[in-house]
Every structure is written in structure tokens, then in C-alpha cells.
Amino acid sequence: MDRRSFLLLTAASVAAPSARLVSAITADRDEASSPWYTSMRRCGQINYNERDPLTIDAEAWGDYWASLKVNAVMLNGGGIVAFYPTQVPYHHRSQFLGTRDLFGEMVAAVKRRGMRAVARMDCNWGYEDALKAHPEWFERNADGSPRPHAESPWLFSTCMFSTYFSEQMPAIYREINQHYPVDGFFTNGWPSTGALRVCHCENCRRLFDKLGGKPPEETDSSNPLYRKYYQAYMDRVLEIWRLWDKVAREKNPQSVYVGNLGGGLDTVKDLKEISEAAAWFNADHQGRGGETPIWVCAQQGRVANSVMGGRPITNVAGAYSNSQPTWRHVSKAPAELTLWLAQSTASGMVPWFHWLGGSPEDTRWRDVGRSFFTWLAANESHFRNRRSVADLAVLYPQRTVAFYSRPEARRPKVRGGPIDYLQGLYYALLEGRFLFDFVHEAHLGRATLEKYRALLIPNAAYLSDSHCEAIRNYVKGGGSLLATFETSRYDEWGNPRPDFQLADVFGAHVAGEVIGPLGNSYARIEAQHPILDGFHGTAVLPEAENRLPIRSDSAPLVLSVVPGYPAFPPEMVYPRTPRTTEPAVVFREVGNSRIAYFAGDVDRTCWRSGNVDLSQLLQNAVRWARGRDSLVAVEGAGLIETFAWETEAGYALHLLNYTNPNMTHGAIRHAYAVGPQRVRFQAVGRVIKNVRALRSGTTLRFEHHADTVSFEVPGIEDYEVVALT
Ligand SMILES: [Zn+2]
């Protein structure tokens, strides 16, 4: 077929949908109660560039995505560059488009093969002709100058508070909706979960006048203007999200708008508020670099789950090498890429496989995606999750993550990054092989918490009165609690309180200001307690780098503080005060609740130091707080992360093997298999007839006593999923 007749064919197929397409659309209408995206399990994205219309082969891409059995493909529609003959003024048509309608061809290619087509848009940048015609659309510096892109300075940053967002983008969506049978819209780069931007355009200046002044450029929740700006900013994000979602559904109520979120643990924007507008959460968490641990992708899934309550979550996996520096046009190491897709799946997200550039010179990534996705498709019912099986809740402390420890200038003694507390507890939970969920601080009600035996709180310093009341009620109802350091010492904006809001629950009161950072301080063992299991042959343990002096009248002294003393020179290294009565930790039992409160930042210190005793101490405390055996226990060698889900088919136990020299640096380039793992799984009220390891494709022998199913997984290469049906 020559290019001309090919174009005619694709144009015809867009204008007059095939019989197959019509039946697919009819089927849609029949299932009006559950939109298509609620059941998708696999997504793909080809992110083509302005020059691609010269060379890209739409049918070949259609074949590739069909071979992965994806449910939906993201296809570049427009925004910065239009890949179709747009009539919207200042919507820049690709200079290489010629007579081609690339977007139309791509949409037709994926729809013909039974996949959904989502228009991938970019609302963040515009060209100079738009800047001249519509100066009000663009962000400005304080001196009035526009903000060019750092690498592509012919593009300028658009302002969310302008009509570019409320009029120009909707005009483009409507044009696309009118001409193409798209199933939804996705915007790259907006709104993100990161820090707010401050712009000085006319629109924003008017907003500042309303707020009473210009907000600070940096995140600073101690500043009253920042607080007002934060709320105005969130309001605008939700207003735009809802507007775009409405526009997306104008032609087809089954359509949807989805923004770009992500950020892993580190979020500033209010995820709970965003989740109220979002029918679909897309996490743009594509890869890692530097010293980032491998498990950050699974953490992203946990954060998103904490606000989405079972609604769809996708995660973008960059098939290109998105380390630091980034290489857009070479493949990521296959073992790293596979483990990324595996973490997305294990944590309950839908993996979204992403390549940049329509005519790749490196095609090594193709088989990696095909192999993983076809395996997913072959076992689909085991990846349709109904609910997580976990008996521990970890508080996701959004306000603390967003505002505490920032800005660094305000806290001259930096107490670590905002996510170090959570990361330290997380690492201990991985080492201890606990099953847990994240619970967002806005969802601490009984309905969410009642399934958990304990709530674990990694230094949630900034908590509102109502958050604290929910925690108090949970403990009153028999739930157990572990909390660290400054938890509840400030309100949700960071206003200090005279004492912990949860002092009555902790059985501890603030008795001074934070001491630290200070190394070479210790916790002296004063009495036997289950949390000291395994600590034989020592009278002291490492103490956290920062601690809050506390007093406690209601609990026996188990670990006392030995204040820090010089670590250098060796002649000076001896304790000046070898013994005190200051508690390093408080353990209490009230009714059925067990409460462990650590006065130091033991979680953060555990993460920063990598100290094994601190991890063991946290694991022991979690085990003590939880009590009894867990719902699922996995015993064996290796550092693994586990997720368990009740699924459409039964249960699925996901085992991710992180035992690898590249766990915290460099791409995973090879999987180091771990040996036998013995599993006990409580399948309450369900008779299990089959236990099968889906990755290795083997049926496992098992024993079933009462509700407990026991079996051995012979080994885990990189990832195993055991289906119990
Ligand atoms: Zn502005």
C-alpha cells in the first residue's frame, strides 16, 4: 500500500467507524454503570515528537500495542504541538505534519485493534506567537518577563490561573472530541503533586490582591499568605480538573480526564482533595536515579491507594533510561524495567508502558514490555483486586510530608528530609516482612481503620485536632499504636502546641525542646520487655539522632536516655552522664490496646544511618503492638516486599525480590534469586483448592488447616505471584 492510499484508508476509518468499532461503542453504552477505565489492567504510551510525522508508522505501532494486549494507548494529540490539522488559533501544528493527520491515524490504528485511545495533551508550554497574541496566558517573573523552557527556550510557561487553562485547552479538547473517537484525555506535567509555583502575571497579581499580598516563593506553611495561597491554588487545580473532565465527557459520558500526579512519598499538594475530583489517578513515577531505593515504585502505589479507595490508579514506567542524567532514546536495563512494572502491579496499580519517539533506533525495551504484559493478560483475573489483605496501617502524614522540615532556612538544624521518617519505618517493615497499607491522614475514620490491628505513625508532627481525635478513637476502640518523635506536636499548619495533642494516648508529655542532631547518644536497657528480644550481650542500644525530652508517669522505664558525648578524639569518648531516668520510649497497655511511643526520631535515624539495631527495635515494637500472628507470614532469606490481595479469582500473594547489590544504587541489571519461602496465609471463610505460582507457572503443594493455608514457594527470581483459588 502506498502512503497516499494508506492515508485515505485511515481517514475513511475515522469518518466511518468499522462494524467492530460500532459494536465496541455499543458495548460501552451497555455497561454505563462502570466506565471502561475502571476495568483496564494494562496501558501503553508512544510519546511521539514534532518530527515524527515524517517517519512514524502508525500501523506498526498499533501492532506493537496489540501484541502487549494493552487496554488503552496514550497518543499525543496536542497542546504544545498539534499532531492533527487543528483549526484552533495559536495551537501550533507540527511543522512536519504536512498533509498528514498523525493523531487521527494513530487513534484509528489502536481502535481498529480493539484498544482504547486516550489523547495525551500538554498544557504547560506555548510558542512565541501565542505569547505575543495572548500575553495574559503566560507565567511571568517578578520583573514581568515570561518564563522560557530551560532546554527548549522557544517555548514559554503557561499560567494555570489564566484563560489558557479555562478556554484554550477546552477549545482544543472539544476539537479533538469532535473529530476523533477518543476515550479520554490526559495532560502531561499538570497538576503534579510537588511544590506550588508562584507566578506574577496579571491574573496572579489580582489573586494576590485578594489574598492580601504576594505569597513566598518557597513552601512555608508558617507564613499566613502561603496558607491562603495554598488553598487558592488547590481550589484552582480542582476547578480546572473538574472543568476538563466535564469537557471530556461532553460527547461521551464514558470519557474521562486524568491529570499527571505522582511524586512517590514526597507530596506537597493535597492528594485527598485531588482524589475527590479524580476518577483516575495517574502516577507519573517512571524510574529512579542516584541513591533512590528500588522500592519507591511500590511506595507510589501505597500513597495513591491511600486516597483512591479502589478507584483506578495507573503508573507510568519509562522504558527509556530515566536515570540522572537521562537518556530518552536508549532502553532501561531490562531487569530494572521488569521490577518497576512488577511493583506497579503488586501494589495494585495498572502498569503503563512508555516509550519516547516514533522511530526508535533502540528496540531492546519492546520484548521486556511484551513479555511482562502478555503474562499479565494470561492471568488477568488474579490482578483484579477487591481489597488488600493487611493487618497494619501506616499513616501517610500528608501535611507533615508537605510542610515539616521545609523551608530549611527556617529550621537551621535540619532534621532530615520530609520523607526520611516514613522511609526508615518502611525499611524496617520490609526487613520484618510485615503486610501493611498506607492510610492517608484524612481517612482515619473507623470505616478505614477497623480492619487493622495497629496504626504506625512515622513522626506525623503536623496533625489537626480532628486527625488526633480519630487516632484517639481508634485506640479507645482497641486499636494499637506506634508513634515517633514530634507526632501531634503541631497543628495541621505547623502552629506549635504546648504539649502533644495525643499526650494522653502516648502517656508522655513534652518536657523541653528538641535536642539534636547529636550522634553518639544511647538508650540504656532498664527492664526486660518483648521489644528487646534478640538484644543479648549489650546494656545499651543506639539512640536516635534527635530526641524530644519527655516525662512519663504512667509507664515503667524500659529504655532510658544516655545523653550524647564526644565521639572524637578517643580519649574523650566516655559518657558524662551514664544513667538518667529520661525515657527514650514509652510502652503502655490500655485495655486491648498496646501503645509504643518513641521520643526520638528513631525511624529517620534508622534510615539515615542504616543501623541494624534501630531497624530491629522498630520491628520488635511493631510485632509487639500488633500482637498475635499476622494474617500472612512469609519466612525465608532475602529482602522482599509483600502485598496480598483478595482478588476476583481468590487471593494473590505478591512477592518482590529486592535482594540485589543495586537495591539502592544503579539500575538492577540481574536478579539474584532467593531460596525457599514458607508461607502461612489465612484464607478466612474460603476453601482453597489450588495454589499456583504464576510467574514460574508451577502448581504448589499446600496444607489447609482451619482457615490457614501453608505452602512453600521454592524460590523467587525477581517477582512471584502466588494465586490461591
Ligand atoms: Zn499567573
- Report the separation in Å between the CA atom of 139 and the middle of ligand 1, taken as the mean of its atom positions: 5
Average pLDDT over every residue of 348-353: 98
Pairing status of strand 72-78 against strand 116-122: parallel
Residue with cell 476518577: 279
Instruction: Tell me the residues surrounding ligand 1 (ion) with CB < 5 Å.
Output: 159, 161, 199, 201, 203-204
Instruction: Give me the pLDDT at residue 406, please.
Output: 65
The pLDDT, as a whole number, for residue 416 is 57
Question: Residue 313 C-alpha to ligand 1 middle, in angstroms?
Answer: 30
The residue-averaged pLDDT of 266-273 equals: 96
pLDDT category at 407 given cuts 50, 70, 90 is low
Q: How far is the CA of 157 from the centre of ligand 1 (A)?
A: 10
Tell me: the pLDDT tens digits for 128-144?
999 999 999 999 999 99
Task: Name every residue whose Cβ is closer than 8 Å to that of residue 399 and which is 6 or more positions away in sequence.
Answer: 221, 441, 462, 463, 464, 492, 493
Q: How far is the CA of 93 from the centre of ligand 1 (A)?
A: 25
User: What are the tens digits of pLDDT across the range 571-604?
Assistant: 999 999 999 999 999 999 999 999 999 999 999 9
User: pLDDT above 90 covers what percent of the chain?
Assistant: 91
Q: Is the pLDDT of residue 29 over 70?
A: no
Mean pLDDT of 39-43: 98
pLDDT digits (tens, 9 = 90+) for 217-259: 999 999 999 999 999 999 999 999 999 999 999 999 999 999 9
Q: How far is the CA of 197 from the centre of ligand 1 (A)?
A: 9
Q: Distance from the CA of 347 to the center of ligand 1, in angstroms?
A: 37
The pLDDT value given to residue 32: 53
The band of 23, judged by pLDDT with boundaries at 50, 70 and 90, is: very low
What distance in angstroms lies between residue 317's CA and the mean position of ligand 1's atoms? 32
C-alpha of residue 409 to centroid of ligand 1, in Å: 26
- Please tell me the distance between residue 693's alpha carbon and the centre of ligand 1 in angstroms: 54
- CA 140–ligand 1 middle distance (angstroms): 7
Contacts of residue 691, Cβ cutoff 8 Å, sequence gap at least 6: 699, 700, 701, 702, 709, 711, 722, 723, 724
Q: What is the pLDDT of residue 118?
A: 98
**194 Cα–ligand 1 center, Å:** 17
Distance, CA 50 to ligand 1 centroid (Å)?
A: 27
Cα of 146 from ligand 1 centre, angstroms = 10
Using the mean position of ligand 1's atoms as its centre, give its distance from the Cα of residue 86 in Å. Answer: 26
Cα(666) to centroid of ligand 1, in Å?
A: 39
Q: How far apart are CA 70 and CA 61, in angstroms?
A: 12
Note whether 287 and 267 are within 8 A (CB). no
In angstroms, what is the span from residue 2 Cα to ligand 1's centroid? 48
- Give residue 27's pLDDT band: very low, low, confident or very high (50, 70, 90): very low
**DSSP code string of 544-556:** PSSB--EE-SSS-
Q: Taking phi first (over 0 means left), then psi (-120 to 50 degrees means alpha), and beta for anything else, what does residue 627 get? A: left
- HSE of 556 in the Cβ direction (CA atoms, 13 Å)? 7
Q: Determine the distance separating the centroid of ligand 1 and the alpha carbon of 207, expressed in angstroms.
A: 9
Cα-to-centroid distance, 159 and ligand 1 (Å): 5
The dihedral through the CA atoms of 376, 377, 381, 385 has a sign that is positive
Q: How far is the CA of 198 from the centre of ligand 1 (A)?
A: 7
For the entire predicted model, the pTM comes to 0.94
User: How many whole angstroms from 162 Cα to the centroid of ligand 1?
Assistant: 6
Radius of gyration of the chain, Cα coordinates, nearest whole angstrom: 27
Q: How far is the CA of 203 from the centre of ligand 1 (A)?
A: 5
Q: How far is the CA of 165 from the centre of ligand 1 (A)?
A: 11
Judged by DSSP in three states, 590 sits in: strand
Candidates 208, 199, 112; CA nearest to 164 is 199
Q: Inform me whether the pLDDT recorded for 411 exceeds 60.
A: no
Ligand 1 centre to CA of 307 (Å) is 29
What is the Å distance from ligand 1's center to 205 Cα? Answer: 7
* pLDDT greater than 90 at residue 263: no
Q: What is the mean pLDDT of residues 516-526?
A: 96
CA 147 to ligand 1 centroid distance, Å: 11
What separation in Å is there between the alpha carbon of 201 and the centre of ligand 1?
4
CA of 161 to the centre of ligand 1 (A): 6
